[in-house]
Amino acid sequence: MNKRIYLCLAHMSGKEQDFIKEAFDTNWVVPLGPNVNGFEEDLKRFVGQDREVVALSAGTAAVHLALLACGVGPGDEVIVQSFTFCASSHPVTYLGATPVFVDSEKETWNMDSQLLEEAIVDRIAKTGKKPKAIVPVYLYGMPAKIDEIMSVAGKYEIPVVEDAAEGFGSIYKNRMCGTFGTYGVLSFNGNKMITTSGGGALICKDVEAKREIMFYATQARENYPYYQHEKIGYNYRMSNICAGIGRGQMTVAEEHIAHHKHVCDLYRDLLKTVTGVTLHENPSVDYDSNYWLNTVVLDEDLRVIGEENAYATTVQGVVGGAAGVTHAVASLHTDCEPNTNVEAMRVFLDKAGIESRPLWKPMHKQPIYANNPAYLNGVSEALFKVGLCLPSGPCVTDEDVHYIVEQIKAAIVK
């Protein structure tokens, strides 16, 4: 196979250019305009539950503004799921607050509600005040046990910011993820279920909450005939051009979600006879994951070709296709890394033209957060050592999935 199979690559509907052309023709090339308004209305209809939506420049910006609206500031603490991407926790530090990490439960891989309550009780005992917010995550699109999380949050009257960046279109008990808490975060990065090339959105409970978020997203200007600033604001509004892409993407959103689920069905069927490789799936009928990324775990005793050379050389460039610049590393190892069979499988697939990726490294194991409070049960660290993400996006064909599973089989030492 000559082509490269990417983990999750955006796919255009064909309608995006019409909306973008309209923006140029009408000279709406700023962070407001008809496409922004239209995209927000599309998203509002999509998520339902009488919610309002604000289109923003990134999912990270949405987390930041949600925490700001929850009153998070210097000296506060925010409980964050440890098993996640850094965009869930970094905005806490932007505000001068401290992320307090809570581990996951085994079924969904998301925040453990029992540990959550233990963390709240302990933080109150240690600091004399309760955390300002709770940030659960829908990891790889899998719904969390959000009823249990909301029950704990309600008991202590702590607002919940649902990080549904990976959970666009995922459903729990017939309700869209991102609509249970005080705020819900969406991401439209180039690798998400739909894309605006870069961008995100914040789901708000009502019009008043939306207006307050928009105030902070547009530099926090007071109502004078000149620029008057009494609060610190941010330049976080989505551009009319990016929103045009989003409007085109919304025409195929349901199609994209259905395709990801179809890919999961194929993986399930093709991997069921592969000993030592287990696909992560919905725990019960209450869960309806979008399967943004299909993930597998490898048994620790599974032998993979090239395992003896895993971590033999430092990685050149960025694993996982992330944009940007990375620092060169001097060491081949960290104190928490995937098992050698997982790294060997990643390298084997890479050589076969297949992009794969380890699971998110838990935030409590990141050097930048080494001294942060963490309430752990070992689940996220154990999963990080054995897990791998497989190609799942709308550009992944049935033929691709067959080829990927063939290569997984070929990598296993008989």
Instruction: Give the strand pairing for 171-172 and 175-176.
Output: antiparallel
What integer is the mean pLDDT of 250-278? 97
Side chain identity at residue 115, one-letter code: L
Tell me the C-alpha to C-alpha distance, in Å, between residue 140 and each of 8, 108, 167, 294, 388. Answer: 11, 10, 7, 7, 11
CB 109 within 8 A of CB 134: no
Cβ 193 vs Cβ 167: under 8 Å: no
DSSP states of 205-219: SSHHHHHHHHHHHBT
Q: In Å, how far are 17, 392, 399, 410 from 1, measured between CA atoms?
A: 31, 18, 11, 15
Spatial distance between the Cα atoms of 237 and 375, rounded to a whole number of angstroms:
35
pLDDT at position 3 is: 84
Which tokens belong to 26? 């009408």
d(CA 218, CA 231): 11
Strand order in the sheet with 133-135: 133-135, 77-81, 98-102, 374-375
Sheet holding 200-204, edge to edge: 52-56, 200-204, 183-187, 161-163
Q: Which residues pair with 137 in a beta bridge?
A: 163
Could you give the percent of the chain with pLDDT greater than 90? 88
Whether the pLDDT of residue 70 is over 60: the answer is yes
pLDDT at residue number 316: 65
pLDDT at position 188 is: 97
> Residues 109-128: what's their mean pLDDT?
98
pLDDT score, position 328: 78
Which DSSP helix (H) or strand (E) runs through 296?
strand 294-298
Burial of 374 per CB tally in 10 Å (0-12, 13-18, 19+): buried
Which sequence spans correspond to the domains of the chain?
16-252, 254-411
**What confidence score (pLDDT) does residue 324 get?**
67
Lowest average pLDDT, out of 55-69, 173-187, 325-339, 340-354, goes to: 325-339
What average pLDDT does range 193-208 have in this prediction?
Answer: 96
Three-state secondary structure call for residue 47: helix
Read off the amino acid at residue 346.
R
What crossing angle do the helices spanning 113-127 and 146-156 adopt, rounded to 10°?
Answer: 20
- Please name the residue ranges forming H helices in 276-396: 340-351, 379-386
Identify which of 365, 398, 401 has the alpha carbon closest to the alpha carbon of residue 382. 365
| pLDDT at site 1 | 56
3-state DSSP assignment of residue 186: strand
The topology under which CATH files domain 254-411 is Aspartate Aminotransferase, domain 1 (3.90.1150)
User: For position 9, what pLDDT does the model report?
Assistant: 85
Q: How much is the pLDDT for 193?
A: 95
Query: What confidence category does residue 282 fall into, taking pLDDT thresholds of 50, 70 and 90?
Result: very high
Residue 377 has a CB neighbour count (10 Å cut-off) of 16
CATH number of 16-252: 3.40.640.10
User: What b-and-e string marks burial along 42-73, b requiring 16 or more CB atoms within 10 Å of the CB?
Assistant: bbbebbeeebbbbbbbbbbbbbbbbbbbbebe
Q: Identity (one letter) of the amino acid at 308?
A: E
pLDDT at residue number 330 = 72
CA neighbor of 188 nearest in space, from 218, 204, 205, 168: 168
Partners of 55 in beta bridges: 201
Q: Which helix (H) or strand (E) holds 98?
A: strand 98-102
> What is the edge-to-edge ordering of all strands in the sheet holding 387-390?
277-279, 294-298, 387-390, 357-358
Q: C-alpha 276: how far from its chain's center?
A: 27
The amino acid sitting at 290 is N
Q: Which two tokens stand for residue 295?
A: 């993930």
* DSSP labels, 235-258: B-BPPHHHHHHHHHHHTTHHHHHH
**Cβ atoms within 10 A of the Cβ of 78, count?**
24
What is the rounded average pLDDT of the residues 245-256? 96
Answer whether residue 331 shows pLDDT above 90: no
